[in-house]
Structure 1
Amino acid sequence: MAERDRAPSSRVDVCVVGAGPAGAIVAARLAEAGHDVVVLDAGPRFDLEDRERQLDAHLRPGVESAGNRSAAGDGLWGMGGDRDAYTSSGDRHYPLNAARVKGLGGSTLHWQAMVMRLHERDFEMDSRHGVGVDWPIDYADLRPYYTEAERELGVAGADDNPFAPPREEPFPLPAFPPSHSDSIFAEACERLGLPTHSVPNARNSEPNDGASACVGYGTCKPVCPSGAKYTAERHVARAEAAGARVIDRAPVQRLAHDADAVDAAVYATPDGAEHRQEARAVVLACGGVENVRLLLLSASDAYPDGLANSSGLVGRYFMDHCFAGVGGRIDRPTRQNHVGFNTTECHALYDAEDPLPGVKLEFLNYAGPSPVIDALHADEWGDDLLDSLRDSYGTHLAVGGLVEQFPHADNRITLDRSTTDDHGNPVPDVEWSVGTETRRAIERANEVQRAILEELDADIDWVVGPDETGPAFHHMGTTRMGTDPESSVVASDCRAHDLDNLWIAGSSVFPTAGGMNPTLTIAALSCRLADRLDRWL
């Protein structure tokens, strides 16, 4: 294939850095509004035709996907090596590359696509509970953009959640039906007074927008071969159809600027050259870690502590969601692993009157071993293999949960100047710990999860509690929004306080994390940002 033209365009209206959901949505909406847009992304274009070969490589490690780096030894999506180097110096090691993807589509290439709205309380944690901070916007401000975001992502759902915030119209697509194991959990939860309800999913429950309905591969993470699951590639394609130029393998090295505005994004290309993409406005949309890194790498005489960092808060208040879970076995068929995503959850623990972090319970459709993967990797054959699979498969159940982290200034992203990437730039360092309030919330989640399994007479064989918890890889809070330039990085419209033409998209602007998967809120904020930037232009 001929080498792509990666030379810069003449000065454009908008340069978007990053082609994940935030950047792709902003680029598509601005291009469709008639603006001249260039998108720069550090990673490659992944071939949509290669997804089935990627699935084969996932099920049978060592099988390479012809012509595509994505199935090489550094993972299905090519993460690893000097390009993606990082360090972790916090109380707990943070495995940053376990869920990042650099490339068109970003982490939506391998996400599970669960998309919930934040609750009203999430925007008012200080006012309601005296913890964290309030957002400079409330749920009512974002409510119409949540509706737009659900349309943009093609969300399948039902208005059956008694705890959900108010909504104004039905979901774009009907909800997925409860799984067999969901029905088992529903019996126990009803007896315990824990209402269950459907999970909004950004995947097609019926054919939509030229893509098929979900056909049940069950491998949503790490790869959906059918195309039924939303990836930001859809918005990349929309942006290009509207005239935007999308340049892959073009990692931005720094933002050139004066004291008042950003002049250009300086990016590298595979041939070793550096280029300047000049623009009237720049939108940073490369995630809660790389947004910070790029701002800090852009330090200058005007901004010696990093661009847009007069508050000193760029990189501070890094948040994630922590996992809590309990699993076991029961003496009846559960049909585990028939569905690769969650279809039932419970928000009953979320809006408690006490100031504990929010907890969202998830009833896992993929508990226990996968019979396909077990069979492919087994040393046994024939009847012996069949007996082993019968013993290990079909009776597992598990209840998981996302647990909110409150913002703490000591959880942060900085530059590790002792370690450099493939361009000689300092790599990001992650300082991450789990606070006492999050530990208490995890313990509360475990108590309820254990009660559900005990109600089913399950033999509990594993518990993930506060000492074993890990991150959900939802990077939030490192360029928080607010009204005061001394205590925030961007204003309520996501424009940097310090520079007139720099905008930041994505979950790095979240002042608090809530306990809901962040992508729908990312999409809603991106729709809102695009509207404001359209008017500014």
Structure 2
Amino acid sequence: MFIDLRSVPDETVIDTDVCIVGGGAAGITLAMELLGQGHRTCLLESGGLDFDDDVQALNDGDCISEQKIDLLWSRLRYFGGTTGHWGGNCAPLDPQDFEERPWIPDSGWPFGIAEMEPYYPRAYRYCELPVPNFSADYWAEQSESFRNRRLSLKGDPISEKIFLKSPPTRFGEVYRAGLVTAGNLCQVYLNANVVEIEADAEAKQALSLRTGGIDGKTHRFRARIFVLAAGLENARLLLLSDRVRPQGLGNDHDTVGRYFMAHTTLRTGLAMLSIPEGTASYYATLGWEQRFQSEVNPFIDALQPSREAQEREGILNTVVFFEESYEGERTPGFIAMRRIAKQIVYGRVPDNLAHDLGTVIGDLDQVIKALYARSFGDKSYKILQTRFFSEQAPNRDSRVMLGTDLDALGQRKLTLDWRLGDLDKRTILRTQKLLAEQFGALGIGRLRIDFQSEDEPWPRGVDSSAHFMGSTRMSRDPRRGVVDENCRVHGIENLYVAGGSVFPTSGATMLTVNIVALAVRLADHLRGKLI
């Protein structure tokens, strides 16, 4: 059953068994997994079934770091969450992502990949993947075209990592009917903005969630078990809940909000390769490059430093994609122009309009070149660029905090300080060198390198891929994490966290399918607690 919380009388108290905050991939997966178990479940979604500008504005916050992240538009506040603009690429984390690697401080999960393997098949089904086979050899057998164009990599120092393509699954649409089936004991509350976790006097037990509406109404949800599944809002909500603990709940060791990570994404260098026409399409993420393809492939074959090379070089896990585009399309000016256009489409006066217009004017020659090439399909302007997509090293000083500005609900907005370190930069540079050497060894061409030295500042254009992890990280040690190996907040008996915010390390893969697998695992654990 879907219920608009705005229609519920003010100050109503609602009782349930499990209360989940967040109607994105993690929250919807949890709710689906708990159906038919005889337990009452409430799923609280901040928005409605469709985009609403006033609700979306609740995402707004301040990014104070050198590399910027758009907090307002990188996340979506309506049922289905950020799966509403998810690209659909999927691959599991690699074995080394779970391991403590001596050259990466604070690396390691409380368990290895074997713990996750039983849950991935269910996650693949939720994400509607094709045959869930991540072997490049398998896809070479299935596709003669790929077999004839596949790069002859040796496996070391450069190997392959297959990503499969979800449709992509829009969780809010695909699983809506299943959640509202009569008799399944699940209620989805829309326009339900949680503003506080109310705990007992010792902060050992969560008692209720208090919601606040833009309309001024207040409601409470009481449950046996509470799960935060709201991305960046998980840390924010723990910090806002400071009535019992002034530093916020789960934050006795000042870990809430810390170790924020994203995927360090950088387009740099040109691949000047003698490869068959159409080869690049098998190594490219979906995007503008689709106009150069006659059909969309069901997989991507990314280039990846081998596990052995990562250890030898002392670098993070990384993958590299090719991106075909027109000259000028990847410049900050053209990206700023697209950002302005996107907000106009949503009916908003663009944020930071003066800054973005200045960026467009600063790159005006490249913007004009790109517009001309796109408009006329002039392939003489076509380029093949390398896109580095890297794990970020855990960094305690990279963090989510509460700012001083208030949102429409009277709550302190997020402030984000995203910090990249020396290891992040070295990983890009060493991977670039390995890739250039591999192209030369294969005799297929060379890589024109633009970013060359660790002494250089980060180039313009470093972005996060809107992949947000950490800030409520998992660790058996409460001094190094917010939740334990079962995603339960340290010190609080019935409060759990789901989603990318619990990841201790990020790996070099896409988030959604891994978030879903971890949510399936958490659902199995919660069923045991509800008996």
Q: TM-score, normalised by structure 2?
A: 0.76
CA contact under 8 A between 1:17 and 1:284: conserved in structure 2? yes
CA contact under 8 A between 1:36 and 1:244: conserved in structure 2? yes
How far apart, CA to CA, are the structure 1 residues paired with 2:414 and 2:81?
18
Distance 1:311 1:328, change over 3 A: same
Pairs within 5 Å for 1:215-254: 229-241=169-181, 242-254=184-196
**3-state DSSP of counterpart to 1:521:** helix
Tell me which residue corresponds to 1:4. Answer: 4
Distance 1:450 1:44, change over 3 A: farther
Distance 1:98 1:322, change over 3 A: farther
Aligned residues with identical type, % of pairs: 27
Give the drift of 1:460.
5.6
- Runs of at least 5 residues in structure 2 that lack an aligned partner in the other structure: 282-288, 331-336, 342-370
Question: Aligned pair 1:533/2:493, yes or no?
Answer: no
Tell me which residue corresponds to 2:238. Answer: 295
Query: Which of 436, 441, 457 is the aligned partner of 2:422?
Result: 436
Tell me which residue corresponds to 1:141. Answer: 115
How far apart, CA to CA, are the structure 1 residues paired with 2:224 and 2:141?
44
**3-state DSSP of counterpart to 2:165:** coil
CA displacement, residues 478-497 of structure 1 (integer Å, 9 cap, x when unaligned): 11111122322111111111
Tell me which residue corresponds to 1:132. Answer: 106
How far apart, CA to CA, are the structure 2 residues paired with 1:185 and 1:449?
18
**3-state DSSP of counterpart to 2:385:** strand
Pairs within 5 Å for 1:66-81: 69=52, 81=57
How far apart, CA to CA, are the structure 2 residues paired with 1:179 and 1:18?
43
Give the drift of 1:407.
0.8
Tell me which residue corresponds to 2:226. Answer: 282
CA displacement, residues 242-264 of structure 1 (integer Å, 9 cap, x when unaligned): 33111122111111111221111
Distance 1:353 1:386, change over 3 A: closer
Pairs within 5 Å for 1:2-401: 4=4, 6=6, 7=8, 10-46=14-50, 69=52, 81=57, 83-126=58-101, 129=103, 131-157=105-131, 159=133, 161=135, 186-187=150-151, 194-196=158-160, 198-203=162-167, 229-241=169-181, 242-258=184-200, 259=202, 260-287=204-231, 289-300=232-243, 302-325=244-267, 326-327=269-270, 334=278, 336-337=289-290, 338=293, 339=296, 343-350=300-307, 352-354=310-312, 355-364=314-323, 389-392=376-379, 395-401=382-388
Supply the AA of the counterpart residue of 2:174. R
Query: How many residues of Structure 1 are paired with residues of Structure 2 in the alignment?
Result: 459
How far apart, CA to CA, are the structure 2 residues paired with 1:90 and 1:386?
34
Distance 1:197 1:275, change over 3 A: closer
How far apart, CA to CA, are the structure 2 residues paired with 1:387 and 1:485?
53
Query: Which of 399, 417, 422 is the aligned partner of 1:412?
Result: 399
How far apart, CA to CA, are the structure 2 residues paired with 1:426 and 1:100?
18
How far apart, CA to CA, are the structure 2 residues paired with 1:410 and 1:90?
11
Q: TM-score, normalised by structure 1?
A: 0.75
Distance 1:197 1:403, change over 3 A: closer
RMSD between aligned residues: 3.7
Give the drift of 1:233.
3.8
CA contact under 8 A between 2:158 and 2:434: conserved in structure 1? no
**3-state DSSP of counterpart to 1:296:** helix
Give the drift of 1:404.
0.9
Distance 1:328 1:406, change over 3 A: closer
Give the drift of 1:28.
1.3
Question: Aligned pair 1:506/2:499, yes or no?
Answer: yes
Compare 342-351 and 398-407 and name the one that shifted more: 342-351
Tell me which residue corresponds to 1:61. Answer: none
CA contact under 8 A between 2:164 and 2:298: conserved in structure 1? no
How far apart, CA to CA, are the structure 2 residues paired with 1:26 and 1:393?
50
Distance 1:527 1:191, change over 3 A: closer
CA displacement, residues 374-431 of structure 1 (integer Å, 9 cap, x when unaligned): 9xx9xxxxxx9899624247843233231111111100000002x1111121101001
CA displacement, residues 1-28 of structure 1 (integer Å, 9 cap, x when unaligned): x993543563100110001111111111
**3-state DSSP of counterpart to 2:171:** coil
Question: Aligned pair 1:524/2:498, yes or no?
Answer: no
CA contact under 8 A between 2:56 and 2:76: conserved in structure 1? no
